[in-house]
Structure 1
Amino acid sequence: MGDVGLFLSGAALFLNSFMLFGKADGKSVGYFNLFVGVLQVVIPFYLIVISDQQHWTVFNLASIFLFGLTYLFVGVTNVKGLHGSGLGYYSLWVSVIAILYAVVSFLKFHDTVGSLTWVAWAYLWFLFFLSGALNKKIDTYIGKVAFVQSWVTLTFPALLSLAGVWKKQAVSQAWTYVLIASFVYFIVCTIQLVLSSQKKEKRLEVQAAS
Structure 2
Amino acid sequence: MAYVGLLYVGAVLFLNGVMLLGKADPKSIGVFNIFVGSLQVITPTVLIVASLADPVTILSASGIYLFGFTYLYVGIGLLGEFDTSGVGWFSLFVAIMALGYSYANFQLLGDSPFGVIWLYWSFLWLLFFLLLGLKREKLTRYTGWVAAIEGWVTAAIPSFLIMTGNWRNPTATALVLAVFGVVVFAALWVVTSGAWSPRGFRWGPRAMPTPH
Q: Assess same fold via TM > 0.5.
A: yes
- In the TM superposition, what is the alpha-carbon distance from 1:192 to its structure 2 partner? 3.9
Residue 131 of structure 2: aligned partner:
131
Corresponding residue for 1:142? 143
Once the two structures are superposed, the pairs formed by residues 1-210 of structure 1 within 5 Å of their partners are: 1-51=1-51, 53-137=53-137, 138-166=139-167, 168-169=168-169, 173-174=172-173, 176-194=175-193, 196=194
How many Å separate the matches in 2 of 1:120 and 1:178? 9
The CA RMSD measured in Å over matched residues stands at: 1.8
Tell me the CA shift for residue 184 of structure 1.
1.1
In the alignment, the residues of structure 2 paired with residue 89 and residue 83 of structure 1 have an alpha-carbon distance, to the nearest angstrom, of: 12
Tell me, yes or no, if the aligned pair for 1:40 and 1:67 is still in contact at 8 Å. Answer: yes
Amino acid in structure 2 at the alignment position of 1:67: F
> C-alpha separation between the residues in 1 aligned to 2:178 and 2:152?
11
Describe the SS at the equivalent of 1:165: coil
* Structure whose CA Rg is larger: 1
Provide runs of 4+ in structure 1 moved above 3 Å: 191-194
Contact persistence 1:152–1:179 (CA under 8 A): no
Instruction: State the one-letter code of the partner of 1:153.
Output: T
Identity between Structure 1 and Structure 2 (%): 38
* Structure with bigger RCO (C-alpha 8 Å, 6+ apart): 2
Residue 193 of structure 1 and its aligned partner are, at CA, apart by 4.5
Aligned residue pair count = 196
- CA apart distance, 1:183: 2.3
- Structure 1, unpaired ranges of 5+: 201-210
Deviations 1:56-79 (Å, cap 9, x if unpaired)? 221111111011011101101101
In structure 2, the CA distance between the partners of 1:188 and 1:182, relative to structure 1 (3 Å rule), is: same
Structure 2 distance, partners of 1:178, 1:143, is 19
Structure having the larger proportion of residues in helix: 1
Is the 2:6–2:159 Cα contact (8 Å) retained in structure 1? yes
